[in-house]
Structure 1
Amino acid sequence: MIIPAVFTSPGPVLFQLGPITLRWYGLLIALAVLIGLNLSSWLAKQRNLESGLISDLLPILVLAAIIGARFYYVAFEWRSYQNSWWDVFAIWQGGIAIHGALIGGTISVILFCRWRQVSFWDLLDVLVPSVILGQTIGRWGNFFNSEAFGVPTQLPWKLFIPYSSRPPIFADSEFFHPTFLYESIWNLAIFIFLMTLFQWGKSGRIPLPSGALSCMYLLCYSLGRVWIEGLRIDPLCLGGVPPFCDGGLRIAQLMSLSLLLLAGFGLFWLYGKRKSLPDPGLRTPGTS
């Protein structure tokens, strides 16, 4: 039996006291960072990585991820900012993209590893469970903001979107696919899967070479994002006509397919070729 469920956001603001406003999205991001710090620090200890490594990396990683997420979004929505470039920095008005955060975060981890002479893949493997758990939590921010939802639906499970947040083309529709929920559930399943793999690798039940966990993260997340993105009505587009990118490409789907191929090749290299992945975090002799 399917239990009907209608999701209705209480609004983006948790509470407001004079000029002080606490938003649900900010609270969820802060919670994700705090949990991620503790989880990755514990995983790093299990991998015998340097004590304090995660706490040293975290401020750099968070800042790089936010900058990457914002500028990635702006790059594909430049038409909305070209006449008011100052709005590029108004991140509180919305507009970030997870793939941009992954790019910015990855660059910061590479540079950090080169600075501290730590294996990039060893460090990334203890970060990705926290990343996917953070994505699980963060997607609920879309719920509170009434954003990043799917096409109209009358399924037993659906999301009510207030009139002010609906695209004009769907002004007469009240209920939409809760894509935030789909991705949050998918991401939670990936988190459980990655933690299981980590424990199996640690106990010796399965071989888990450096980089394997990171490749599995990319593979699983990208698989889910490809189909969930197809339901959304607010995708970043490369050409085409909004809201469905008619005549163009959905950037998140294109990026996810690219990451799928990259992750698949990485797993083939590790398990098919039985070779280690090249480590961009370690300097080779003769380099500076």
Structure 2
Amino acid sequence: MNLLALNPIAFHFGNLQVRWYGILMATGVLLATLMAIQEGKKRQVISDDFIDFLLWAVPFSFVGARAYYVIFEWSYYANHLDQVIAIWDGGIAIYGGLLTGLIILLIFCYHRMLPPLLMLDIITPGVLAAQILGRWGNFMNQEAHGSQTSLAFLQGLHLPDFIVKQMYIDGHYYQPTFLYESFFNLIGLIIILSLRHRKNFFKQGEVFASYLIWYGIVRFFVEGMRTDSLYIFGVIRVSQALSLILVLFAVALIIIRRKEGKSRWYLDGSGLKYPYER
């Protein structure tokens, strides 16, 4: 046990333990929502749409993230059905939450008569920011780390001392894969935010596609370093396979959008009168 490790429990509320992981995730959701609302005002989408979407997307995404994990660990949960909903013991997958959120968004846009690609463009930078923040929840829990390494290696990365100490788990030091993913996604977020307001640069759907490409590549390489991956047939890492699929899908989306001469530019917004009536 590492006595110098940070406490994953932020505080107690009666008998309830409030963990830093939960606080960081909630902060990430709030940040993503505020970013979407702010950008939506410039693209003729009112704030109520993002708030209403959030109320549907968040609970369903948590269910999707858990279901995704349980499905790929079914060999265990088939014999432990009472633990299927035990998310307090860990076991949620970001890709499951993202895919569920995407389905909810498409349904939501259909019923609200909103352009889905534009909505994805507006929302995904905030989602990436939330993912960057959320990985620090893994750091607090000392999970989602890489393989065993040495103190000298970690010190050679010139990391702050509190990160090095937190990577000392059960008598060994481990690769801070949470940090690699968080850092490179931060670079991707900065690039996307710096480019999305350039005139005639992104077609609608291409901010979303850029997010998929960047995150997919980062996740592919980071996943290859992790020791807790989900597998298909015990050989293929699920997140690596899905990352490749999403990158290819995003590239195809960009090619298709570019071939469509009438595709709207991202800066054109929704084309709806703001504020608009239902």
TM normalised by structure 2 equals 0.85
In the aligned structure 1, how far is the partner of 2:248 from the partner of 2:216?
Answer: 10
Structure 1 residue 215 corresponds to structure 2 residue 202: no
2:252 is aligned with 1:265: yes
What 5-or-longer segments of structure 1 have no aligned partner?
1-7, 164-172, 241-247, 278-288
Task: Name the aligned partner's letter for residue 181 of structure 1.
Answer: L
**Structure-2 separation of matches of 1:96 and 1:161:** 23
Match of 1:185 among 170, 183, 186: 183
The 1:257–1:9 alpha-carbon spacing in structure 2 relative to 1, beyond 3 Å, is farther
Q: Which of the numbers 117, 122, 130 marks the counterpart of 1:121?
A: 117
The corresponding residue for 2:167 is 160
Q: Take 2:47 and 2:93, find their aligned partners in 1: how far apart are those partners?
A: 31
Residue of structure 2 aligned with 1:144, choices 140, 143, 168 = 140
Q: Is the 8 A contact 2:195 2:201 kept in 1?
A: no
Distance 1:121 1:234 in 2: 33
Please say if residues 121 and 205 of structure 2, whose CA atoms lie closer than 8 Å, have aligned partners that are also in contact. Answer: yes
CA displacement, residues 30-74 of structure 1 (integer Å, 9 cap, x when unaligned): 111111111100111111113411011111111121111110010
Pairing 1:10-29 to 2, within 5 Å after superposition:
10-29=6-25
* Aligned-partner Cα distance in 1 for 2:54–2:60: 10
2:220 maps to: 226
TM-score (norm 1): 0.83
Contact 2:37 2:46 in 1 (8 A): no
- SS of 1:199's equivalent in the other structure is coil
Work out whether residues 145 and 176 of structure 2, in 8 Å CA contact, stay in contact via their aligned partners in 1. Answer: yes
Gaps of 5+ in 2: 158-163, 265-278
The CA distance in 2 between the partners of 1:229 and 1:207, in whole Å, is 31
Following the alignment from structure 1 to structure 2, what is the Cα–Cα distance between the partners of residues 114 and 94? Answer: 34
Q: Contact 2:61–2:98 (CA<8 Å) still a contact in 1?
A: yes
> 1:134 and 1:9 mapped to 2: Cα distance?
24
Pairs aligned (count): 250
Instruction: State the alpha-carbon separation in 2 of the partners of residues 125 and 147 from structure 1.
Output: 31
Give the conservation status (yes or no) of the 8 Å contact 1:73–1:97: yes
Which residue identity lines up with residue 207 of structure 2 in the other structure?
A: L
Over the aligned positions, Cα root-mean-square deviation in angstroms equals 1.7
**Aligned partners of 2:259 and 2:251: how far apart in 1?**
11
**CA distance in structure 1 between the partners assigned to 2:244 and 2:139 by the alignment:** 26
User: What is the letter of the counterpart of residue 175 of structure 1?
Assistant: Y
Structure 1 distance, partners of 2:196, 2:38, is: 12
Higher relative contact order (CA 8 A, sep 6+): 2
Task: Give a deviation string over 1:8-27, Cα, whole Å, max 9, x none.
Answer: 64131112254032100010
